A and B are shown apart, each in its own frame.
Chain A
Amino acid sequence: MTIPKLEIVNLRKLFGDESLVAVDGIDFAVEAGETVALLGPSGCGKSTTLNMIVGLEQPTSGDIRIDGRSVIGIPPGKRNVGLVFQDYAVFTHMTVFENLAFGLVIRGRAKAEIAKAVHDVAELLGMSNSLNLSASELGGSELQRVAIGRTLVTKPAILLLDEPLSNLEASARLAMRRELRRLQSEIGLTIIYVTHDQVEALSLADRIAVMNAGKLQQIERTSVICKKPDHVFVAGFMGSPPMNLLRGEITGNGASVGFRRDGLFIGLSSSEAFVSDYVGRPIILGLRPESLTLAAAHDATISGKVAVVEPRGPEAVVTVESGTVSLKAVVPTAERPQVGADIGLLAAPSSFVFFSGETGRRLAS
């Protein structure tokens, strides 16, 4: 097996007088040429993780290995890791050329070598014509290009991006997303980037690592993570709208076993391996909005009233309230019901996802 480009081993970071745990023992590996998104809400420790990989923060414990070698104690400039900041941090007192050349100039490289490297990168990023502009004249997406280019000139082993698209307007964001994907395929960069925007993560990454409260909840291929969340946090975070999560318990036995929450009862097949183990214990039922279909109120799994209908182009998100439970379903716009109508929701038992109410982990099924 080849050595992973980057390995994070039981990484921990405590702040202040060891009271604030920013990163709480995370492990993952990134293969060469792979793009991994670190996804999570603000304050989940994703930026701290990034800062530790690049060397701006020292981990409290654990190890970071690049190409199999530990980089703990190696200063940021010597790790061969590039970081592009959310605000780009372009040197506004310099021209575009000087920005791009910075990494090589401070290493004292020859003028000709610098000029060639800068022109190559400028061409790659489509900014050969703006090399002589002052960086203070540039707009958002150009600044980002400069920030990425400035890093690429030094040929980093790993490129880290901190919220790369969040400061751009919508159209520039799309263009930049295409650009980043092109860079990935053209120069086979290993990219890790931090984001709180799952659309961004889904559209760019090969794998997504979902973090919450300093812990890595799941790292999984992009195509799988929405369908098979390992943890109730991932389930509630991924997808738009995210999975419906119902906290309840397993009751009954034999043929009448099922999920119960207040007045709601959903029958389950007792053949499900975990069901008998969880009778009487708290459990969380996950229902994906896409797997819920509308039906007449009387012959549905769940019946209730339509509370909100949000049209979203070809689809509409329908919020159905049933007792204390509120569920979202994604339906074709043509089939959307009236607000206030009595309606039923059908859910195929095969689409049910269960999480332990105690640990939040997904139960095997």
Chain B
Amino acid sequence: MQEATSARGSLPSNRLGQLLMLPGQIVSLLVLVVPLVVAFYMSFTDWTPTHGSLLQATLVGFDNYKELLVYDTRFVEAVVRTLLISTVCLALEFVLGLSLAVLFLREFRGKAILFSAFLTPMMILPVVVGYTFWMLFQSNGPINQLLMLVFGSGAGPQWFRSTPLAISAVIITEVWHWTPLFFLILLSGLNAIPENPVRAAVILGATPRQVFWRIVLPMLKPVIIVAFVIRAMEIVKLFDEVFMLTRGGPGTSTETISLYIYKLAFADFQLAYGAAAAFLVLLGTLALIHLLLAPIRNQLLEARR
């Protein structure tokens, strides 16, 4: 034992360890850090792939950033739209997920099967979800046929021809896809809530409603916030479903940030400009997540007594 420790601590094997880790570190450097640095540099140039190499591109300082924030209404609109869609989606997903989770605290027949069924959507690839809902929302698709069956033949709208309807389609798809995640996180949170404070409240005379709003929900707060953070990080990058459903249309009315940056880079070949936009989004996301975490930051960082 003593020998083994000293052998491991000695210089040659220590070197060996570092040597063995080197390939992995090189790979992560190449894959993560280098592109990040290159993109960061790129965002201060006017480079496009059609104009020679990146090193020959002119440095333009903060022009790209200025352009984005001041003149590019399409970018600003995409940001606002993404935040709007995110807020609506997260609110709906939270309310639906929490309701389902509260429902699942009781016993009922078929609970196990329903549990699996409710979790399935989030296991499906976003592209597949997007494609499926694109077909569902077709003007003669199942959703419209159902609407027409219930509300008469005039009820089937052209989902992707009007802005509000197209955004609604995106939101419905997104909520269907990701409510299960909220449901899962909140259910495990609810199950982890200690029983005695709840019982204490009941003994002190609280009604079930008061117990839920004054005891259960506040105690669930850290879990709720973590669920929001996880989902918020994902939804501000919303791409697949929108791409499959609307491609940002009609016009640019359902364009999200990711979709806009994608179009900038791979349709217009404005890679430098796209890189600047991507960096702004990164900064914005960082700020947003820290803002969301602020209320429970101390609680999460506090050492366990």
Residues of chain A at the chain B interface (Cβ within 8 Å) = 54-56, 75-78, 81-83, 85, 87, 89-94, 102-103, 106-107, 147, 150-151, 154
Contacts and interface: CB of A to CB of B under 8 A. Distances in A.
Q: Is the interface of B mostly helix, strand, loop or mixed?
A: helix
B297 to A, nearest CB: 14
Greatest chain B CB density within 10 A among A54, A56, A106, A107 is at A106
A77 B221 contact: no
A161 B123 CA distance: 48
A274 to B, nearest CB: 48
Interface string B100-131: 00000000000000000000000000000000
Nearest to A139: B305
B141 interface: no
Nearest to B195: A89
B288 interface: no
B201 A93 contact: no
Contacts, number: 64
Contact of B203 (A82, A91, A94, A107): A82
Interface in B191-239: 194, 196-197, 199-207, 210, 214-215, 218-219, 221
A151 B194 contact: no
Contacts of A107: 205
Contact of B202 (A76, A92, A150, A151): A76
Contact of A83 (B203, B207, B215): B203
A74 to B, nearest CB: 12
Contact of B197 (A82, A91, A151): A91
Nearest to A102: B204
A77 B200 contact: no
A78 B199 CA distance: 13
Size class of the contact patch on chain B: 10 to 19
A75 B210 CA distance: 15
Contact of B221 (A82, A91, A93): A93
A81 B203 contact: yes
B221 A89 contact: no
Q: What are the 5 tightest A-B residue pairs by CB atom distance, in nearest-first order?
A: A77-B205, A89-B196, A103-B204, A89-B200, A93-B218
Nearest to A98: B214
B282 to A, nearest CB: 33
Contacts of B199: 56, 76, 83, 85, 89
Given A89-B194, A93-B221, A102 B201 contact: yes
Contacts of A87: 194, 196
Interface string B167-206: 0000000000000000000000000001011011111111
Contacts of A54: 203
Given A91-B201, A154-B205, 20 more contacts: A55-B203, A56-B202, A56-B203, A76-B203, A77-B204, A82-B203, A83-B200, A83-B203, A89-B199, A91-B197, A91-B215, A91-B218, A92-B197, A93-B219, A93-B221, A102-B204, A102-B214, A106-B204, A106-B214, A147-B200
A153 B77 CA distance: 55
Contacts of B201: 91, 102, 106
Contacts of A77: 202-207
A87 B210 CA distance: 22
Nearest to A88: B196
A300 B131 CA distance: 97
A142 to B, nearest CB: 13
B304 to A, nearest CB: 12
A89 B202 contact: no
A102 B203 CA distance: 11
Contacts of B197: 89-92
B147 to A, nearest CB: 45
Contacts of A103: 204-205
A240 to B, nearest CB: 30
Contacts of A154: 204-205
20 contacts: A56-B199, A76-B202, A76-B203, A77-B202, A83-B199, A85-B199, A89-B196, A89-B197, A89-B199, A91-B197, A91-B200, A92-B197, A102-B201, A103-B205, A106-B201, A106-B204, A106-B207, A150-B200, A150-B204, A151-B204
Contacts of B207: 77, 106
Nearest to B221: A93
A150 B206 CA distance: 13
Nearest to A150: B204
Interface in B269-285: none
A55 B200 CA distance: 11
A178 to B, nearest CB: 25
Contacts of B218: 91, 93-94
Considering residues B201, B204, B219, which has the most beta carbons from chain A within 10 angstroms of its beta carbon?
A: B204
Nearest to B200: A89
A154 B206 CA distance: 12
Contacts of A55: 203
Given A91-B215, A93-B221, A106-B214, A85 B206 contact: no
A106 B205 contact: yes
Contacts of A150: 200, 204
A149 to B, nearest CB: 12
Given A91-B197, A93-B218, A93-B219, A106 B203 contact: no
Contacts of B202: 56, 75-77
Contacts of B219: 92-93
